[in-house]
Amino acid sequence: MTTGPEESGSVLDRLVAALGSSVRTDQEALFEARSDRSGKTSSHNPICVVEATSTEEVAKVMRIANDSSTPVVVRGGGSGLAGGAIGGAGEIVLSLVKMNKIIEISTENRWAKVQAGVINQDLNLAAQKLGLWFAPDPASRIWSTVGGNIATNAGGLLCAKYGVTREAVRQLTVVMADGEVLTLGHETVKGVTGFDLVALMVGSEGTLGVITEAMVALKPVDAHAVFTLSATSKDLASIAKAIQETVKHQLQPSVFELIDAPCSSYIAEHLETTSFEVGSNMLIAQTDGAGAEHLANQIAELWISIGLDVKVESEGEDLLSFRRAMLPALEAKGRVLIEDVAVPISRIGEMLLAIREIEKQFDVEIPTVAHAGDGNLHPNFIYSEEEVPESIWQAADAIFHKAISLGGTLTGEHGVGLLKRQWLLEELGAAQFKLQWGIKQLFDPKNILNPGKVFDPGHIQ
């Protein structure tokens, strides 16, 4: 759904009248809003970018958009990897980056109330001053927003033990498609009154409503020392076995990451370090809590018995920094398509070996990292062209099909957006796809909230 030039002009006039200088039409703002970190770029500028500063301003935007049937694309830090927050012709881009206030942190209740544009790491640092911390820990935490984390149900390095963003969300302030403001969820820890609309909003990618504020749970800072393990092997099958046996033996690290040999080589080159064994597949685990040292030693013994070279240390931030350098290291080589499949942990070895076979089949390199503790893999593709080459999409297609065949999913934490909508029907099946589209229509009858994202118009009947 798009608006014509005359209608767009009247929409813009109404937005300027209602929000003044919050409405930007300069080329810098419009161009930036056409892309995110997925590699996708819209071919045309949006009507404008509205930099809202309050829920009330968001409601004004949505009322104008609803009255004029103008599409709205909600945008946070622009760090999305699925093309879910890209604005185009005839669309209003609603930016929440200036809604960056930490409204309250309650030490009595262990929660924080924040505006959607608060940066993940800023919330964590503020909480730590009060002896608390925010568990969701995406690799983009330095620049991604809490609202964006919620909209994509982001995960991160700590999800092996502490779960994804969904586990941290208690209550949301949401502006609906017609501008109505709702408070969903509960301030209390427990609450089962009615349907769980908070859970429905988490991961909805801006297609059901605009999340403007959130109450998120915090955890007490643990004063115990953490212990970090690293293990290497040339044999990918041994690495996969170590992952599966760690879980099978009920050993629960807080961080549990895999970096395959191609990826570890790129990171070591980028960081100009010789501290890590280049060309080997690598596992990183971190343990915390009162039994952290004992647990680390148990994991080390298991990995050694499988044939891995293992190190245990009481300091480990350099290892975590090595893992977090994955994206900058690959971006130093070219444009990067980061994929995001997940499989049952018992099938992670099959998925890793399948990626190696897909490399051969399509003659492409696929450096891969994974949140090993929950089976979420990130196969990466490096390319130099403006658009993702067809051979890479063919290889990605093969990866998606393989993941689904193993009982897995197209996306563990990045979302569907534009990049994966064509595969959504295959995973969900026709009946569930129809049900989900019906939910979208109930929340957004005019289809003005992020239209064309998640749901492929060609599959909607």
The pLDDT tens digits of the residues spanning 180-227 come to 999 999 999 999 999 999 999 999 999 999 999 999 999 999 999 999
pLDDT at 6: 39
Q: What is the pLDDT of residue 37?
A: 82
pLDDT-derived band at 457, boundaries 50, 70, 90: confident
| Cα–Cα–Cα angle for 45, 46, 48, rounded to 5 degrees | 120
Under 8 Å between Cβ of 71 and 61: no
Residue 386 pLDDT:
84
CA pair distance 411, 205, nearest whole angstrom = 13
Return the HEC string of the chain.
Answer: CCCCHHHHHHHHHHHHHHHHHHEECCHHHHHHCCECCCCCECCCCCCEEEECCCHHHHHHHHHHHHHHCCCEEEECCCCCCCCCCCCCCCCEEEECCCCCCEEEEECCCCEEEEECCCEHHHHHHHHHCCCEECCCECCCCCCCEHHHHHHHCCCECCHHHHCCHHHHEEEEEEECCCCCEEEEECCCCCCCCCCCHHHHHCCCCCCCCEEEEEEEECEECCCCCCEEEEEEECCHHHHHHHHHHHHHCCCCCCEEEEECHHHHHHHHHHHCCCCCCCCCEEEEEEECCCCHHHHHHHHHHHHHHHCCEEEEECCCHHHHHHHHCHHHHHHCCCEEEECCEECCHHHHHHHHHHHHHHHHHHCCCCCEEEEHHHCEEEEEEEECCCCCCHHHHHHHHHHHHHHHHCCCECCCCCCCCCCCHHHHHHHHCHHHHHHHHHHHHHHCCCCCECCCCCCCHHHCC
Q: What's the pLDDT score for residue 263? A: 95
Q: 344 falls in which pLDDT band (50, 70, 90)?
A: very high
Task: Using the predicted structure, report yes or no on whether residue 262 has a pLDDT greater than 90.
Answer: yes
Tell me the pLDDT band of 317, cut-offs 50, 70 and 90: confident
Which is nearest to 424 in space by CA: 451, 450, 458, 448? 458
Q: How many residues does the chain have?
A: 461
**pLDDT tens for each residue of 29-82:** 999 999 988 878 899 999 999 999 999 999 999 999 999 999 999 999 988 888
Tokens of 98: 């200036």
Could you give the CA distance from residue 146 to residue 284 in angstroms, rounded to a whole number?
Answer: 26
Mean pLDDT of 133-150: 92
Q: Taking 70 as the threshold, does the pLDDT of residue 345 lie above it?
A: yes
Token representation of residue 57: 């301003």
- Asked if residues 380 and 355 have their Cβ atoms less than 8 Å apart, the reply is no
Does residue 461 have a pLDDT over 80?
no
Q: Nearest 5 degrees, angle CA 355-CA 375-CA 423?
A: 65
Q: Residue 9: is its pLDDT beyond 80?
A: no
**pLDDT higher than 60, residue 4:** no
Q: Residue 318: which of 265, 380, 368, 276 has the closest Cα?
A: 276
pTM (2 d.p.)? 0.91
Which domains, and CATH codes, for the chain?
A: 5-95 (3.30.43.10), 102-220 (3.30.465.10), 227-405 (3.40.462.40), 421-459 (1.10.45)
| pLDDT given at position 8 | 54
pLDDT of 276 > 80? The answer is no
pLDDT single digits (tens) 384-425: 998 889 999 999 999 999 999 999 999 999 999 988 999 999
Give the Cβ contact number of residue 91 at 10 Å: 28
To the nearest whole number, what is the mean pLDDT of the chain? 93
Burial class (CB in 10 A: 0-12, 13-18, 19+), 305: exposed
Residue type, 410: L
Task: List Cα–Cα distances, 142 to 60, 64, 117, 146, 334, in angstroms.
Answer: 30, 33, 13, 11, 22
Sign of the Cα pseudo-torsion (393, 395, 400, 401, in order): positive
Q: State the average pLDDT over residues 11-23.
A: 97
Structural tokens at position 121: 């790491």
- How many alpha carbons lie under 13 Å from residue 367 in its C-beta half-sphere? 23
The per-residue pLDDT for 274 is 78
| Mean predicted confidence (pLDDT) in 248-259 | 96
Q: Is the pLDDT of residue 158 over 50?
A: yes
Percent of the chain with pLDDT over 70: 98
Percentage above 90 pLDDT, the chain: 85
Cα 175 to Cα 216: distance, rounded to the nearest angstrom: 18
